[in-house]
Amino acid sequence: PDTYRCCWPGCDKSYARKQFLITHEQTVHRLGWAGYRCDECGKEFGRKSDLKTHRQLHVLSASVRCEWPDCDREFKTRKYMLRHMNVHTMARPYRCPYEGCDKVYGNHGSYYSHKMSHKKCN
C-alpha cells in the first residue's frame, strides 16, 4: 500500500517510500529546489543527470547566432535566440499571476521557480 502522498494541489501521486515522494516533490513540484541551470540557455533541471543530457544538445548543434551587436552566442533554434534577447533588452515578459505579487522575470525558468514558491503543501 502507498503510504506517502503528495500534498500538492491537484496531484494524486503516492509512494511506498518517503524518499520516492521527496524525489517526486523536488523534480515535479520543485519543492525545496536548488536545481541545475544550463549556462547556455538558462533552462533548469531537477537532476544533474538531466542537465548533462540537455547540455549535449548545445554541443551537437548551434546554428542561430544572436542578432545583438557584439554578442557571439549561438542557439539551436531561432526561438531560443529570441528568448535570449531578453538578456540584452532587459525585457521581463513573465509576470507572476498571484494577487499581490508584482514579480516579473526575463526567463521562463526563473518565473516558473518563483511561481512554484507560492504553492505550499498543507
Q: Tell the CATH topology of 33-117.
A: Double Stranded RNA Binding Domain (3.30.160)
Q: Is 5 helix (H, G, I), strand (E, B) or coil?
A: strand
Phi, psi angles (nearest 5°) of residue 36? -130, 125
- The CA-based angle 29-31-32, given to 5 degrees, is 155
Q: What pLDDT, on a 0 to 100 scale, did the predictor assign at position 55?
A: 84
In angstroms, rounded to a whole number, what is the distance separating the alpha carbons of residues 57 and 29?
25
Does the model's pTM come out above 0.75? no
pLDDT digit string (tens) for 76-104?
788 888 888 988 999 998 898 888 999 99
- Would you list the domain boundaries of the chain? 1-32, 33-117
* pLDDT profile of the chain (122 residues), mean per 10: 78 89 78 72 80 80 84 85 89 89 88 79 48
